[in-house]
Chains A and B, each alone.
Chain A
Amino acid sequence: MTPAVEFIHTSRHFGAVRAVDDVNLAVKPGEFFAMLGPSGSGKTTCLRLIAGFEQPTGGEIKIFGEPAGGVPPYRRNVNTVFQDYALFPHMSILDNVAYGLMVKGVDRQTRYREAEKALELVKLPGYGSRKPGQLSGGQRQRVALARALVNKPRVLLLDEPLGALDLKLREQMQEELKTLQRSLGITFIFVTHDQGEALSMADRVAVFNNGKIVQAGTPEEIYKRPQSRFVADFVGSSNVISPEAMQRMGGKAEWASLRPEAIRLVAEGGVPAQTLVSNFLGSTTRLSVEAEGVRLHVMLPAGERVPEPGETVRLGWNPADVHYMDGAA
């Protein structure tokens, strides 16, 4: 199957800065793909390379098998939802959404009908006559989405699409984006620095660092089997244990990650630890403890007794749950 978007040894250097450095990547058609990484890791440049705002300085990009080199943004069947939404402030919402059809020469009646349909798709029917300045952040985001989708792109690019929204709206939009992507069957590629967002929404995630992909895989793979300390640290929810501490806890002298829910409190044996603090999270309680000089998180199921701060507990886990990895930070 031809990949929707393919990076073949693609690089984008700005002088001495290697924003994107020899990236190989294949996004499958219909996939919800996340590019995850800290700021400056090259994920946004990758998105701009696909959109055509940047040209690679090395390697190649193919969109549905077609080499994209030299193809200007306006001839690519790819649309972008910008981080700041970039709605045209002087146009009504309907004209904003119909813009892509207007510049393609679609007649007024057809393009307004399509634009209305797109607005319905993002649950903003009847907002067409307003101006962007009269909408809330969440509504503008939906308009930006409708404006991109009305062109029926084969690939939709989303640059930190939820970054400017508050938490509740964000969770709601996460679900809606996911549902929308499923029903439309369009390839979504979205860039985010929020690991929770990437893991919960994407079919596959590529973790970026210093212009390179350090790991690509399903959210489960990324979460359970981080290939390096950087990925484990950045994805964050796992306990990262140094080789020395791991050895003292009875494991191999290598960097390791251990998921909080894999750790249990045991009555005897195990590794002694000092309770620091507990956070009640509803269905679980997250316990912070210190063992062998390492701060660890432990997830206690609801109903289990929560130790007091300062109390000594004993930690046990299945050695198979310890995931050893590359020490590169």
Chain B
Amino acid sequence: MRSDRHTASPALKIAAIGGLLFLHLPILLIFAYAFTTEEKSYQWPPPGFTLKWFGVAWERPDVWQALTLSLKVGAIATAIALVLGTLAAAAVSRSKFFGREAISLLVILPIALPGIITGIALRSAFSILDIPFSMWTIILGHATFCVVVVYNNAVARFRRTSGSLIEASYDLGADGFQTFRHVILPNIATALLAGGMLAFALSFDEVIVTTFTGGQQSTLPIWMLEELIRPRQRPVTNVVAMIVVLATFLPILAAYYLTRDGDQIAGGGK
């Protein structure tokens, strides 16, 4: 009875479904509260449903400020990470030098360290150097872990790309820039896109490092934390939460699909 091996017992099925529901029902709950008519507390079931909070959120300038700041920080931190992460990955995978393994470890370290350590360390460093807290200090804070994501994606792709491709390009008359544009970039593009999207998603919902490196500005997640304390127009927070879920979930989904098919393009000539 071979087919029986693939059929789980009903108890296991229920447990699995229960686990998934436990993970995802709370998110649906957040969505539901975005439409509630009760604005001071979260009451279940919602006494009534309305779309007015979308309008209210649209009218609130603080929502827009937080959203633009988050988008700016995410975009610039990702851009920095794309440049630095690609360069570091190229150096580590394309050449041999003293301390290569150590550098590889040091690049990855910020994502392994608890955010609070990174946050405190950066805050002390900014204070010592007399750098005022601004959008740029938040960007620097986010770039520390965004670089790691890009680096990891790029390094994996570089390792699968045959080194003779670059030599072949030189051999056929292409200089360094042409080789980068026509050979290296197309081969690592999907890895960079995936890494960049993950980096953006990480930056977009980051709280801890932002708390330590930000001044008066609030990124979207920080704004939400503050908003939860205020017992007025609470469903606006839920509306914004829905936007955050979509803004982070879609890039991650896209990144997953982009890297899944990546194997076929980087194999080299063999």
B187 touches which of A90, A104, A140 (Cβ 8 Å) = A90
Q: In the complex, what's the smallest C-beta–C-beta distance from B170 to chain A, in angstroms?
A: 4
Taking the closest CB of chain A, its distance from the CB of B192, in whole angstroms, is 14
| A103 interfacial by beta-carbon distance below 8 Å | yes
Return A83 CB to nearest CB of chain B, in Å. Answer: 8
The answer, yes or no, to whether B13 is at the interface (CB within 8 Å) is: no
- Asked whether A90 and B265 contact (CB < 8 A) given A103-B178, A103-B182, the answer is yes
Chain A nearest CB, measured from B145 CB (Å): 30
- Asked if B173 and A100 sit within 8 Å, CB to CB, the answer is yes
Does residue B162 face the partner (Cβ distance < 8 Å to A)? Answer: yes
B266 to chain A: closest residue by CB: A89
Residues of chain B with a CB closer than 8 A to A132's CB: 269
Determine if A51 is an interface residue (Cβ-Cβ < 8 Å): yes
CA distance A72 to B269 in the complex (A): 23
Q: How far is the CA of A89 from the CA of B162 in the complex (A)?
A: 10
Contact with B along A68-112 (1 / 0, CB 8 A): 000011110011101111111111000000011011100000000
A99, closest chain B residue (CB): B172
What per-residue 1/0 map shows which CB atoms of A119-147 lie under 8 Å from chain B? Answer: 00000000000001100000010001001
Over the window 165-182 of chain B, the binary record of Cβ atoms lying under 8 Å from chain A Cβ atoms (1 yes, 0 no) is: 101111111110010001
For B167, the closest partner residue in chain A by CB is A53
Chain A residues with CB under 8 Å of B187's CB are 89-90
Is A151 positioned at the interface, with any CB of B under 8 Å from its CB? yes
Question: Which residues of A3-62 are within 8 A (CB) of B?
Answer: 51-53
Chain A: residues with Cβ within 8 Å of the partner, total of 33
Q: Given A74-B173, A82-B269, A89-B269: A99 and B165 within 8 A (CB)?
A: no
| Distance (whole angstroms) from the CB of A201 to the closest CB of chain B | 22
Q: How far is the CA of A80 from the CA of B166 in the complex (A)?
A: 12
Q: A82-B168, A88-B165 are in contact. Are A74 and B265 (CB under 8 A)?
A: no
Choose from A72, A84, A88, A144 the contact partner of B170 (Cβ within 8 Å): A72
- Smallest Cβ-Cβ distance to B181: which chain A residue: A103
Chain B nearest CB from A187 CB (Å) reads 16
| B166 closest partner in A (C-beta) | A86
Cβ contact within 8 Å between A74 and B268:
no
Set of chain B residues within 8 Å of A85, measured between Cβ atoms: 269-270
Q: A89 vs B189: C-alpha distance in the bound complex, in angstroms?
A: 13
Across the A-B interface, how many residue pairs have beta carbons closer than 8 Å? 88
B186 near A: Cβ within 8 Å?
yes
> What size tier do the contact residues of chain B reach?
20 to 34
Give every chain B residue within 8 A of A133 (Cβ-Cβ). Answer: 264, 267
In the complex where A86-B162, A89-B266, A144-B269 touch, is A80 in contact with B174 (Cβ < 8 A)? Answer: no
B164 at the interface (CB under 8 A from A): yes
Across the interface, do B168 and A74 meet the contact criterion of CB distance under 8 Å?
no
On chain B, the residues within 8 Å of A79 by CB distance are: 171-172
A89 touches B167 (CB 8 A): no
With A73-B167, A89-B187, A103-B182 in contact, do A84 and B172 touch (Cβ < 8 Å)?
Answer: no
Contact B168 A86 (CB under 8 A): yes
> B residues 147-170 with Cβ under 8 Å of A?
162, 164-165, 167-170
CA distance A113 to B173 in the complex (A): 19
If A103-B182, A144-B269 touch, does A86 touch B173 (CB 8 Å cutoff)?
no
Question: Are A89 and B182 in touch, CB under 8 angstroms?
Answer: no
Q: A89-B267, A132-B269 are in contact. Are A84 and B162 (CB under 8 A)?
A: yes
B164 vs chain A, min Cβ distance (A): 4
Question: Contact: B170 with A73, CB < 8 Å?
Answer: yes
Asked if B224 is an interface residue, CB under 8 A from chain A, the answer is no
Is the Cβ of B173 less than 8 Å from the Cβ of A87? Answer: no
B183 at the interface (CB under 8 A from A): yes
Query: Complex Cα distance A38/B171, Å?
Result: 25
Given known pairs A82-B164, A84-B164, the reply for A74 and B170 (CB within 8 Å) is: yes
Give the residues in chain A near B162, CB-CB below 8 Å.
84, 86
User: Are A87's CB and B269's CB within 8 A?
Assistant: yes
**Complex formed: what's the CA distance from A85 to B162 in Å?**
10
Task: Name the residue on B nearest A83 (C-beta).
Answer: B164
Q: Are A74 and B269 in contact (CB under 8 A)?
A: no
Query: Please, how many angstroms separate the alpha-carbon atoms of A140 and B270 in the complex?
Result: 9
Residues of A within 8 A of B267 (CB): 89, 133
**A248 CB, nearest partner CB in chain B, Å:** 51
Supposing A88-B183, A144-B269 touch, asked if A80 and B168 sit within 8 A by C-beta, the answer is: yes
Q: State the Cβ distance, A299 to closest chain B Cβ, in Å.
A: 38
- Complex contacts, A52 vs chain B, CB 8 Å: 170
Shortest CB distance B184–A (Å): 11
A79-B172, A144-B269 given; 7 more Cβ-contact pairs under 8 Å? A52-B170, A83-B164, A88-B182, A90-B187, A99-B172, A100-B172, A133-B264
Q: Which residues of B contact A (CB under 8 A)?
A: 162, 164-165, 167-175, 178, 182-183, 186-187, 264-270
A-B contact list, 14 entries, CB within 8 Å: A52-B170, A53-B167, A74-B172, A79-B171, A80-B171, A84-B164, A88-B183, A89-B266, A89-B269, A103-B175, A103-B182, A133-B267, A144-B269, A164-B270
